[in-house]
């Protein structure tokens, strides 16, 4: 069985927790996009695991795969592998030979372009964009080349003069070939053992009736095509892109789980129709600990946007929804949800394709009575009636059933519906 878990908002929806929760019944967990610009947090008892590249299934000692669509910072990946080993985790890791390697010059270029730009994207400056740009330009270095010293040396020697010239245009000095090799060759030796054809491995696993869980990074509204371009990520976080990344037929995908917070957050620049300011935004931010796992930046806060969620459900084809952080809204007297936009006298039920139009949209809200969420619940029946009404409205507006509700950071604070 093949299941995809994808973000339905601007990322940071709590996908890591949902993947960890579902991983108990999975055999293989696959990260299919992004790089260490993502941050997935898993809380198990008094232990907190923060991943940027490793699939969240590593906490449950599952077979973990990094697909061809992942951009790999080898230094970050090695540190996460070593961290997991120290905590006693015994996972099996497979890295697709086709995955791209983030090089030091990618990181420098990412920071330089963002600092010089008048319209800042809000990049994490981790080198993700330049890495994917090199893939498209066919000048990138793939994992299979990285772990073969002779080929790696040849590829680096060929591309470095162009990167040096590009960095010089920003007044930045490019690291020397010797410096890069001194840092990256030892990392390559440590990671070589994990090289695999992930596409072929997954095909065989699915034929053997193994349960495969696909873990996405970022979210629908950061998709490079369907998101709020240009304020988007450089990879494709949507379900259809997951299949291209792992190299598996779309016919084999059975479940597509969209993950959304009970409210909405965004990091970086770009349109945010339901954004809140002032004390209410501060209250939600602090209660929800809405600070980036990767950068530590404070996240922008807004009410739940069902126009966004409705469009995400349509494009991804969600078979179900997982709602996270319902507890953060606990204690508010009133809770609002945006079910439509107002644009030039028109009512919109779907996100407009043009970002400049989206930036001018105004939210149309439905107000709900607040609710108090218990710290522990045995079933959905323990939810307050006001919370149930809120969730039913989400289901109706998105034409998608909610199957999971998370009301706290721990694995046990999750309800199946």
- The answer to whether the beta carbons of residues 23 and 31 sit under 8 Å apart is no
CA dihedral 118, 121, 124, 130 (to 10 degrees): -90
Token pair listed for 321: 């929804």
User: Of 10, 201, 212, 224, which is closest to residue 136 (Cα–Cα)?
Assistant: 224
Q: Single out the catalytic residue among 12, 96, 134, 223.
A: 12
- The answer to whether the beta carbons of residues 148 and 87 sit under 8 Å apart is no
Q: Is 52 a catalytic residue?
A: no
Strands (DSSP E) found in 75-206: 92-96, 100-101, 195-196
Strands (DSSP E) found in 286-361: 300-302, 304-305, 320-324, 334-343, 346-348
Distance CA 300, CA 292 (A): 10
Q: Single out the catalytic residue among 20, 40, 52, 223.
A: 40
3-state helix, strand, coil in the chain (%, to 5): 40, 25, 40
User: Which H or E run includes 186?
Assistant: helix 177-191
User: Of 236, 260, 385, which is closest to residue 320 (Cα–Cα)?
Assistant: 260
Q: Is 12 a catalytic residue?
A: yes
Q: What number of CA atoms fall less than 13 Å from residue 302's CA on the CB side?
A: 22
Active site residues: 12, 40
């Amino acid at each position: 069985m093949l299941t995809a878990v994808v973000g339905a908002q601007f990322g940071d929806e709590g996908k890591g927790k949902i993947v960890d929760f579902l991983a108990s019944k999975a055999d293989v967990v696959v990260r299919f996009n992004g790089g260490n610009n993502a941050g997935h947090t898993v809380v198990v008892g008094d232990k907190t695991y923060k991943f940027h590249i490793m699939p969240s299934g590593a906490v449950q000692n599952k077979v973990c795969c990094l697909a061809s669509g992942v951009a790999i910072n080898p230094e970050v990946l090695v540190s996460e592998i070593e961290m997991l080993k120290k905590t006693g985790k015994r996972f099996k890791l497979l890295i697709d030979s086709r995955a791209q390697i983030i090089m030091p010059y990618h990181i420098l270029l990412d920071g330089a372009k963002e600092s010089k730009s008048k319209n800042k994207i809000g990049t994490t400056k981790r080198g993700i964009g330049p890495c994917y740009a090199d893939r498209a330009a066919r000048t990138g270095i793939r994992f299979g080349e990285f772990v073969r010293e002779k080929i790696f040396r040849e590829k680096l020697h060929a591309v470095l003069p162009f990167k040096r010239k590009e960095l010089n245009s920003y007044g930045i000095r490019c690291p020397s070939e010797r410096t890069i090799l001194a840092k990256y060759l030892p990392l390559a030796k440590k990671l070589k053992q994990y090289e695999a054809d992930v596409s072929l491995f997954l095909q065989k696993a699915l034929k053997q009736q193994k349960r495969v869980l696909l873990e996405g990074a970022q979210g629908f509204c950061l998709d490079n095509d369907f998101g709020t371009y240009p304020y988007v990520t450089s990879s494709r976080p949507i379900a259809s892109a997951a299949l291209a990344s792992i190299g598996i037929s779309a016919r084999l995908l059975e479940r597509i789980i969209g993950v959304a917070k009970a409210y909405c957050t965004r990091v970086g620049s770009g349109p945010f129709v339901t954004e809140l300011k002032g004390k209410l935004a501060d209250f939600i931010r602090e209660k929800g600990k809405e600070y980036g796992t990767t950068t530590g930046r404070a996240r922008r806060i807004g009410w739940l946007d069902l126009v966004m969620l409705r469009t995400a459900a349509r494009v991804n084809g969600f078979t179900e929804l997982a709602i996270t952080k319902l507890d953060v809204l606990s204690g508010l007297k009133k809770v609002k949800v945006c079910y439509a936009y107002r644009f030039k006298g028109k009512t919109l039920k779907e996100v407009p394709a043009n970002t400049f139009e989206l930036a001018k949209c105004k939210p149309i809200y439905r107000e709900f009575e607040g609710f108090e969420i218990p710290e522990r619940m045995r079933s959905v029946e323990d939810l307050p009636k006001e919370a149930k009404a809120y969730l039913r409205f989400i289901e109706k507006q998105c034409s998608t059933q909610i199957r999971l509700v998370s009301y706290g950071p721990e694995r046990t604070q999750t309800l199946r519906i």
